């Protein structure tokens, strides 16, 4: 069990290193120097990243509840 948790944490930290890369359009907008536009791009990326995590969290919650009902 602990090996799985440690592996998960290690892989999570390695993926964070690549998380700072940007697509060509995003990079061009940010390099343009417009602070408001750069903040808008960052907010948009964050907004788009939230929904897959919410869906996966909801899926795990449903599986948890289903398994809990089977044990009772």
pLDDT single digits (tens) 3-54: 888 877 777 766 555 555 566 777 777 777 777 877 888 888 888 888 899 9
pLDDT of residue 59: 95
Distance between CA atoms of residues 43 and 49, nearest Å: 10
Distance between CA atoms of residues 58 and 61, nearest Å: 5
Please state whether the predicted TM-score (pTM) of the whole model is above 0.75. Answer: no
Element spanning 20, H or E: none
Is it the case that residue 64 has pLDDT exceeding 90? yes
């Amino acid at each position: 069990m602990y090996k799985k948790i440690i592996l998960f944490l290690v892989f999570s930290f390695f993926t964070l290193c690549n998380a700072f890369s940007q697509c060509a359009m995003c990079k061009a907008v940010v390099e343009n120097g417009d602070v408001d536009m750069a903040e808008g791009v960052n907010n948009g990326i964050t907004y788009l990243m939230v929904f897959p995590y919410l869906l996966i969290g909801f899926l795990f919650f449903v599986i948890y509840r289903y398994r809990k009902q089977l044990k009772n």
